[in-house]
Amino acid sequence: MAEPLVEVITLTYPKHRLSPEDLLTFVEMPGFWEDWQCCGRDDEDLHTLQITIMAQPDVGTPISGAERLCEVHCQASPESETLMTVRYVYFEEYSMVLLVIAFNGHNVLTEGEKAQINALIDRQDDELSRRSRRI
């Protein structure tokens, strides 16, 4: 029987930059992981994105007309010049980030898509509000 592979790593970070109170909960919309993999990304890349957002939740650029939806761009792969776009919503009052979609390149949202996303964000906000009242 093969020995289990164990990798010991040391994560070093500046304590003034990230504290336990800064830790966020990440929730992926249905289909986000599939989008992420189609962009050639893996778990390690997702962890990097999450740490980036935790360190500076407002790192993303707000999308005009889509309440609280932001997008962040990163290189699609180390050897690629293509940019990958991730759209997310930061619910500061609940310490939660909703990862909405990931894709290679750029995409401009139509007004109809923005309305659908705003409705989705409102539903998520209502659900989070109900849950926090039960606690």
pLDDT digits (tens, 9 = 90+) for 22-56: 689 999 999 999 999 988 888 888 888 888 888 88
User: Is position 4 within any domain?
Assistant: no
The pairing of strands 25-28 and 96-104 is parallel
Q: DSSP state, 60? A: S
User: Is position 86 within any domain?
Assistant: yes
Domain count, the chain: 1
Global confidence as pTM: 0.78
Question: What number of CA atoms fall less than 13 Å from residue 46's CA on the CB side?
Answer: 19
pLDDT over 90 (residue 91): yes
User: Is position 11 within any domain?
Assistant: no
> Taking Cα atoms as reference points, which of 39, 42, 50 lies closest to residue 102?
39
C-alpha span between 71 and 60 (Å, rounded):
5
Q: What percent of the chain has pLDDT over 90?
A: 44
Q: DSSP state, 105? A: S
Can you give the residue range of the structural domain that contains 74? 22-134
Provide the strand spans (E) within 82-125.
Answer: 83-91, 96-104
